[in-house]
Structure 1
Amino acid sequence: MAAISIPSHMKAWTYSEYGKSNQVLKFNQSVPLPEVKEDQVLIKVSAASLNPIDHKRMEGLFRNTDSPLPTAPGYDVAGVVVKVGSEVKKFKVGDEVYGDINVKALEYPKVIGSLAEYTAAEERLLAQTLWPQKPQSLSFAEAASLPLTLETAYEGLERTEFSAGKSILVLGGAGGVGTHVIQLAKHVYGASKVAATASTRKLELLRNLGADLPIDYTKENFEDLPEKFDVVYDTVGQTEQAFKALKEGGKVVTIVPPGFASAILFILSTDGAILEKLNPHFESGKLKPVLDPKSPFPFSQAVEAFSHLETNRATGKIVIYPIP
């Protein structure tokens, strides 16, 4: 492969103070490229996706463990490797990869995130987007939609020791994490029954993803249902109510602090091996990326993408593509 020309500066969206995205997020024409450490690769970003943690971090909710400002936001990335560190063995220049670039979501995320032309990440956080069956490979936009939410969905199910024949209730079934929990539980783990909550207009999506019992939270309370579940996966912060829908001996898992004493609360530790493990299920069609109907947003409309994220009404993931 011919040598790839890498500039010293790039375009990126950055903020230098905490606040709402429409006030602090600015387009910067000349940002220095991130340094590439021995175990990292430099990625020419093609697509990125947004997560709730992006706007919460921007608003300063995690400032005690945040990286220094100014910073470019963004955890999820898909793109092409253009440089490899001296200790990198898994990837080479030209490989198409995707992943969550931060080892721990709330512990000093990278200063240069994925809303930039280039970003750097440890090779163990990444997976390849390509398989031999090219037509069924993930597009950059689809791949960018997956990492943080897919890994979170998987880790939560693993922590509850979910297995074939068990039942599960997913609170927030149409969100980024919830759409993956439904699919994983039904099509990979072999759940006996999957119930999930969403608003009226999103119930059909839940059915299409594999939910046996879509619950319209605008019309009924899940905790009042006579049926109880082996696992309740809370993605929206209703942990206390979740216990009312639990079978005796069942487990509640939540990703929304502060959680509840008897619940399993966890913060994701990023691992590209999870993506590699689940890749074949996307190849076979068992699992599908779910992009918000307004996606993809062009790179120039990052502020609009954040505004949509902040409504808490997005379906699946908000993707920014293409990133020049």
Structure 2
Amino acid sequence: MKAWVYKEYGNSQSVLKFETNVEVPSLREDQVLIKVVAAALNPIDFKRMLGAFSATDSPLPTIPGYDVAGVVEKVGSQVKKFKVGDEVYGDINEKALDHPKRNGSLAEYTAVEENLLALKPKNLSFVEAASLPLATETAYEGLERSAFSAGKSILVLGGAGGVGTMVIQLAKHVFGASKVAATSSTAKLDLLRSLGADLAIDYTKENIEDLPEKFDVVFDAVGQCDKALKAVKEGGRVVSIIGSVTPPASSFVLTSDGSILEKLNPYFESGKVKAIIDPKGPFPFSQTLEAFSHLESSRATGKVVIHPIP
């Protein structure tokens, strides 16, 4: 099969290579083989490629890619939920940093445990579906960990990124937030409002620690824990997905679970929660290096998606 592969750690532009004769991954009994239609990039992909998680990584060579949307090509003997021909999506690595798969989604085929997948909502394109799993599940797990519930207020730091765009929507439309505030650069404020933010804050002009009101929960998607702690109410929660944290803030690494996607599918199908695709994309498979370069610039809006594959 065709795939993007790196055999040593380093910058994506120097180590990631296009290969045309890679072995299709073998299938375990609890896995399905997916013909990949679209894949999305996440910051964890290039950080892993740089060797940031080498102590708990699987041995090289590696095909990167966590997010996948595609069609079931083959099923293992123990698979109950899916059959050949089903359109599915998911985050293929249950533990994001604990020996993630060597055969990721930036390939024509990938093998994934059935419990990490869900049926693709019929109204979503493969591009939209591929953009959702890791960011949506991270947003959902963070809201759950912060004990977020109806009637509470939340501030999202980094509201226009892959995870931030999902936190705004889930907090508002799934969890029933009383107020959603979020930060972004000037050009992206309208996007935040369109997703359900009641207060869109331009971080280039305002300091969140100076805001007159404090929030029940602050979801830090950019690594600004110290600022987040100054914006949270007494007894509130700060949850972070990047950078070092100071108690009482807490951080977590996602555990992927297809049942979260199944639970949220009605919200995707009704259009209450939308996939946010970076306007420069989707990038064709041949332009995967350009896609990584765009993601690494920290200027992406929503998710950077690769399609078609190959």
- 1:25 alignment counterpart: 16
* Alignment partners' CA distance in 2, 1:290 and 1:259: 28
What's the CA shift string for 1:101-140, capped at 9, x where partnerless? 001110111111000000000000000014xxx4xx2110
Distance (whole Å) between structure 1 residues aligned to residue 120 and residue 244 of structure 2 = 35
State whether residues 225 and 244 of structure 2, in contact with CA within 8 Å, keep that contact through their aligned partners in structure 1. no
Aligned match of 1:39: 30
How many pairs were matched up? 310
Find the counterpart in structure 2 of residue 237 from structure 1. Answer: 223
2:287 aligned with 1:301, yes or no? yes
1:83 paired to 2:71: no
Residues 1:120 and 2:106 aligned together: no
Which of 41, 46, 63 is residue 72 of structure 1 equivalent to? 63
SS, match of residue 182 in structure 2: strand
Compute the displacement of 1:263 (Å): 1.1
Partners of 1:210 and 1:254 in 2: CA distance: 21
Counterpart in 1 of 2:197? 211
Distance 2:55 2:253 in 1: 16
Aligned to 1:60: 51
Secondary structure of 1:30's aligned partner = coil
Partner of 1:319: 305
Cα distance in 2 for partners of 1:208, 1:14 equals: 38
- SS of the residue aligned with 1:127? strand
The ranges of structure 1 where at least 4 consecutive aligned residues each deviate by more than 3 angstroms after the TM superposition are none
| One-letter amino acid of the structure 2 residue matched with residue 95 of structure 1 | D
Distance (whole Å) between structure 2 residues aligned to residue 286 and residue 264 of structure 1? 29
* Letter in structure 2 aligned against 1:285: G
Residue by residue, what CA displacement relative to the aligned partner does 1:157-186 show, whole Å, maximum 9, x if unpaired? Answer: 011111111000000000000000000111
Instruction: Write the letter of the residue equivalent to 1:84.
Output: V
Deviation of the 1:40 alpha carbon? 0.3
* Gap regions ≥5 residues in structure 1: 1-9
Corresponding residue of 1:278: 264
Partner of 2:86: 95
Are positions 1:149 and 2:110 aligned together? no
Q: How far apart, CA to CA, are the structure 1 residues paired with 2:131 and 2:268? A: 13
Q: CA deviation at 1:256?
A: 1.0
Query: Can you give the 5+ residue segments of structure 2 that lack an aligned partner in the other structure?
Result: none
**Structure 2 length normalisation: TM-score?**
0.99
CA RMSD in angstroms, aligned pairs only: 0.7
